Amino acid sequence: MRKLIISTISLLSILLLNTPSISAQTKAAMIEKYLNKASKEGFRGVVLVAQKGKIIFSKGYGMANLEKGFAYHQNSVFSIGSITKQFTGAAIMKLEMEGKLKTSDKMSKYLPNVPAGMQKITLQHLLTHSAGLPGGIGPDSELIDAPTYLKKVYAKPLKKSFGSFSYSNTGYSLLAMIIEKVSGMSYEKYLHEKIFKPAGMMQTGYTLPQWKDKNIVMGYKGKNLWGAVHQKCQYNKGVTYHLRGNGGIMSTVLDMHKWYEAIKNNTVLSKAATKKYLAKHIIEREGGPFHYGYGWGTEQKEGREITWHNGGNGFFSNYMGFYPDKDLMIFVGCNIGRDADPYAHKVDEIMHGEFKSLDASLVKTYTGTYQLPNGQKFSARLNANNELVVPINRSDLYAAFSGTGKEDQKIASDYDRKSKEMLSPLLKEDYATYAKIESQYVTSLKADEIERQVKHVFGNMVKRLGKFQAVKVLGSVSRRGGKYYLTASRVTFAKSGKQTNMYFFHYWGGNRLIDMSRSTEEEMAKRFEHQEGKKFFAGSNQLTIELVTKNGVPALKVGDQLVLRKMSNLK
Give the DSSP per-residue string, 249-283.
-EE-HHHHHHHHHHHHTTSSS-HHHHHHHHS--EE
Nearest-angstrom CA–CA distance, 120 and 106: 7
Largest Cα span, the chain: 75
* Residue 544: pLDDT band with limits 50, 70, 90: very high
89: enclosing H helix or E strand: helix 85-97
Nearest-angstrom CA–CA distance, 501 and 164: 38
Q: Is 50 exceeded by the pLDDT of residue 535? A: yes
Q: Is 50 exceeded by the pLDDT of residue 53? A: yes
Nearest-angstrom CA–CA distance, 8 and 13: 9
| CA 192-226-427 angle, 5° bins | 135
* Residue 3: pLDDT band with limits 50, 70, 90: very low
State mean pLDDT over 113-129. Answer: 97
Instruction: Choose the CATH number for 401-520 among 1.10.150, 2.60.40, 1.10.3470, 3.10.450.
Output: 3.10.450
The percent of residues above 90 in pLDDT, for the chain, comes to 85
What is the pLDDT at residue 1? 27
Nearest-angstrom CA–CA distance, 239 and 245: 10
- As its CATH architecture, domain 79-351 has 3-Layer(aba) Sandwich (3.40)
Smallest Cα–Cα separation from 47: which of 58, 36, 55? 58
The percent of residues above 70 in pLDDT, for the chain, comes to 95
Residue 199, phi-psi category: left (phi > 0), alpha (psi -120 to 50), beta (remainder): alpha
Distance of CA 125 to the CA centre of its chain: 23
Nearest-angstrom CA–CA distance, 507 and 504: 10
* Residue 568: pLDDT band with limits 50, 70, 90: low
Q: Is 90 exceeded by the pLDDT of residue 524? A: yes
What is the pLDDT at residue 445? 81
Strands (DSSP E) found in 444-483: 467-479
pLDDT tens-place string over residues 399-441:
999 999 999 999 999 999 999 999 999 999 999 999 999 999 9
- Higher-pLDDT residue of 337, 444: 337
Q: Is 90 exceeded by the pLDDT of residue 4? A: no
State the CB neighbour count (10 A cutoff) for residue 470.
Answer: 12
Q: Could you tell me which residues are beta bridge partners of residue 334?
A: 45, 317
Q: Break the chain into its structural domains and give their ranges.
A: 79-351, 360-392+525-569, 401-520
Nearest-angstrom CA–CA distance, 514 and 497: 36
Which amino acid makes up residue 271? K
Q: Is 90 exceeded by the pLDDT of residue 9? A: no
Say which range, 104-113, 138-147, 193-202, 254-263, has the weakest mean pLDDT: 138-147
Smallest Cα–Cα separation from 314: which of 174, 526, 415, 461? 461
pLDDT tens-place string over residues 456-513:
888 888 988 999 999 999 999 999 999 999 999 999 999 998 999 999 999 999 999 9
What is the pLDDT at residue 560? 83
Question: 3-state class of 67 per DSSP?
Answer: coil
pLDDT tens-place string over residues 344-397:
999 999 999 999 999 999 999 999 999 998 889 999 999 999 999 999 999 999
What is the pLDDT at residue 162? 96
pLDDT tens-place string over residues 253-289:
999 999 999 999 999 999 999 999 999 999 998 878 9
- Higher-pLDDT residue of 16, 389: 389
